[in-house]
Amino acid sequence: MYESANVSDDADRTAFRRAEKQYKLYYEQDSKFSRKKKLPKPVDLSSVLDFNSISQDFNRTGVLPDGIRVAESDSSVFCIENRPGFYFIPNALSLEEQCKWIRESLTSFPQPPNRTNHNAIYGPVADLFDSAKANKVLVQEDTNIWKFYDGEEATAKVKQRRCKSVSASVLLRKLRWSTLGLQFDWSKRNYDVSLPHNNIPDALCQLAKTHAAIAMPAGEEFRPEGAIVNYFGFGDTLGGHLDDMEADWSKPIVSMSLGCKAIFLLGGKSKEDPPHAMYLRSGDVVLMAGEARECFHGVPRIFIDEENADIGALESELPHENGDFIAEYIKTSRININIRQVF
């Protein structure tokens, strides 16, 4: 699934790869000022679909761009004519919901038995968020055993034993994914039902069911069984891929965006098909069901600059209970929660 952008993979040969390269963040030398200063290369964003403004225009004038239509049963849900099974719900989550799921993504979702990208190196890491807030440091006790210590204690241990250590705040920054419900095993690229797991939280299940309804076969209810939470920092991308490890592709993947704005590429069944590029903002929900489950997709870019990140409202709404820890994190990050029915 997570076949990340591999340069030797298909180089520039496919339309999908060319679009990834077009939107990806590149730096170029700024010759006018200093030899060292590098600036982000300007990107032509004129053909990126903006469902936020499409929706506003539609509400005002009733007009839609070519190739875009609204869902038959709900005119606040948008579809792309040549991508059946794909649904875009702009602003589906309230600010309050966005804050809640950002907070959970950082505090409870990475908690064992849920697994994260850190498991492979450090084993299960408990209380990552609280430890980062308290400036703790993870210290290697034994080959596979790591434990959090307060700063000074950690420094003493490292000096005395010459063992490895890493600060909790660095680990929080480097959090790349966590898995909820049935645990996805990345090495086998499949769900490992033998791994211990908790159910997906009820409130998240309910939210997913509500938004999935429009893409569900008539009379059936969505059953959320597994979720993957992706954390994107500055410069992070998600290469073109298919999510094909679930049994029944008539059921949608429910994908929620939180934090900084991103560009999402929705390709076709072949990487040769030119993808549609669109913005994903905090609060947007995307559904991929039926034929859209067979379409390559990925995230070549997130925007963290104030003008483009589009998180002003979110920042002022984020409660300050955790200091400004969460607000600071989300200023330069994007979180994606995608929820799946596995069986």
Query: Which spans of this chain sit near Mn ion (rule: CB under 5 A)?
Result: 243
The residues near 69 (Cβ < 8 Å, ≥ 6 apart) are 78, 79, 81
**Using the rule CB under 6 A, is 297 a contact of ligand OGA?**
yes
- 241 a known binding residue? yes
Nearer to Mn ion, 171 or 266 (CB): 266
Contact between 89 and 77 under an 8 Å Cβ cutoff? The reply is yes
Tell me the two tokens of residue 125: 């890491």
- 243 a known binding residue? yes
Burial letters for 66-75: b for 16+ Cβ neighbours within 10 Å, e otherwise? Answer: eebeebeeee
Shortest reach from residue 243's CB to ligand OGA, in Å: 5
Q: Which of 192, 243, 294, 317 binds ligand OGA (CB under 6 A)?
A: 243
Contact between 168 and 136 under an 8 Å Cβ cutoff? The reply is yes
Nearer to ligand OGA, 149 or 279 (CB): 279
- DSSP per residue over 292-319, as a string? GGGS-EEEEEE--SHHHH--HHHHHHS-
Q: Which of 55, 333, 338, 341 binds ligand OGA (CB under 6 A)?
A: 338
Shortest reach from residue 230's CB to Mn ion, in Å: 9
Contact mark string toward ligand OGA, 172..211, x via CB under 6 A: ----------------------------------------
Contact between 288 and 303 under an 8 Å Cβ cutoff? The reply is no
> What does the alpha-carbon distance between residue 196 and residue 182 come to, in Å, rounded to a whole number?
8
Q: Which among 217, 257, 201 is positioned nearest to 89, based on CA atoms?
A: 257
Shortest reach from residue 228's CB to Mn ion, in Å: 8
Nearer to ligand OGA, 238 or 326 (CB): 238
Contact between 95 and 101 under an 8 Å Cβ cutoff? The reply is no
Shortest reach from residue 233's CB to ligand OGA, in Å: 13
Q: Which among 334, 226, 244, 340 is positioned nearest to 295, based on CA atoms?
A: 244
> What does the alpha-carbon distance between residue 26 and residue 31 come to, in Å, rounded to a whole number?
16
137 binds, among Mn ion, ligand OGA, none (CB under 5 to 8 A by kind): none
Shortest reach from residue 47's CB to ligand OGA, in Å: 19
Shortest reach from residue 223's CB to ligand OGA, in Å: 18
**Using the rule CB under 6 A, is 258 a contact of ligand OGA?**
no
Q: How many CA atoms lie within 13 A of 292 on its CB side?
A: 24
The number of residues that bind ligand OGA (CB under 6 A) is: 12
Nearer to ligand OGA, 128 or 299 (CB): 299
Amino acid residing at 91:
N
**Using the rule CB under 6 A, is 294 a contact of ligand OGA?**
no
Q: Which of 105, 116, 178, 230 binds ligand OGA (CB under 6 A)?
A: 230
**Using the rule CB under 6 A, is 339 a contact of ligand OGA?**
no
Sign of CA dihedral 115, 109, 130, 257: positive
CB atoms within 10 A of CB 189: 12
> What does the alpha-carbon distance between residue 320 and residue 334 come to, in Å, rounded to a whole number?
19
Q: Which of 105, 131, 140, 336 binds ligand OGA (CB under 6 A)?
A: 336
Positions that interact with ligand OGA (CB under 6 A): 228, 230, 238, 243, 255, 257, 264, 280, 297, 299, 336, 338
List residues forming the annotated binding site. Answer: 241, 243, 297
